[in-house]
Chains A and B, each alone.
Chain A
Amino acid sequence: NAGVMQNPRHLVRRRGQEARLRCSPMKGHSHVYWYRQLPEEGLKFMVYLQKENIIDESGMPKERFSAEFPKEGPSILRIQQVVRGDSAAYFCASSPPGGRAHYEQYFGPGTRLTVT
């Protein structure tokens, strides 16, 4: 059973460009979460999605950031007009739809974004 998959693993963008990060949840998981980890800082929640719905975006910056989880295909975190402060590791996690373990989140390997 493949784990959470993220691509690309490393992404370099110049200031002002767009960054697109992709996440495919574990098989059978229908909940996707995005977290950001700045250098030397802890993991910060950004957004929680189910298929075609954003459930909780309380951690998303108000501008330039958006996320989606379409009916078909991976979840995408999009950052427009990137700035140096966006450089971080972006982790996606997924959890199963039900059962006792449905709050347990399993993380992908992350995408390391570097803005030059």
Chain B
Amino acid sequence: RKEVEQDPGPFNVPEGATVAFNCTYSNSASQSFFWYRQDCRKEPKLLMSVYSSGNEDGRFTAQLNRASQYISLLIRDSKLSDSATYLCAVKPGSARRLTFGSGTQLTVLP
């Protein structure tokens, strides 16, 4: 089983739609979780950090379910500019390195 798993998609949604991505992790000792977005041939950009049960920033909501070992990212009122690959990252235990999922590709259609 991979340490961090994501549905690769692609997710194709119309503008204005609500879309949710899930990410599961295997290390129950993980404490910190992050969502990044990565545009084609660009660097990952930090979108949200999730330290407790969840976090909200405008149209974006991240939730953490420790019992089931997954985090989710909800995007409301999708914009064309939200089209990107969304990467889930987990800090396993005491180590500072991040383990990334393979990413979920989102395309928002006009």
Chain A residues in contact with chain B, CB under 8 A? 31, 33, 35, 41-45, 48, 55-56, 58-59, 89, 91, 95, 100-101, 103-110, 112
Flag if A103 contacts B46 (CB, 8 Å).
no
- The CA of A42 and the CA of B101, in the complex, are separated in Å by 7
Flag if B102 contacts A41 (CB, 8 Å).
yes
**In the complex, how many residues of chain B place their beta carbon closer than 8 angstroms to a beta carbon of chain A?**
22
Q: Secondary structure of the A side of the interface?
A: strand
Flag if B43 contacts A107 (CB, 8 Å).
yes
A45: chain B residues at CB < 8 Å are 97-99
| Total contacts A-B at CB 8 Å | 55
Q: List 28 A-B contacts (CB under 8 A).
A: A33-B96, A41-B102, A42-B100, A42-B101, A42-B102, A42-B103, A43-B44, A43-B100, A44-B100, A45-B98, A55-B96, A56-B96, A58-B97, A59-B97, A91-B44, A101-B49, A103-B49, A103-B91, A103-B96, A104-B46, A105-B46, A105-B98, A107-B36, A107-B44, A107-B45, A107-B46, A108-B43, A112-B41
Flag if B96 contacts A31 (CB, 8 Å).
yes
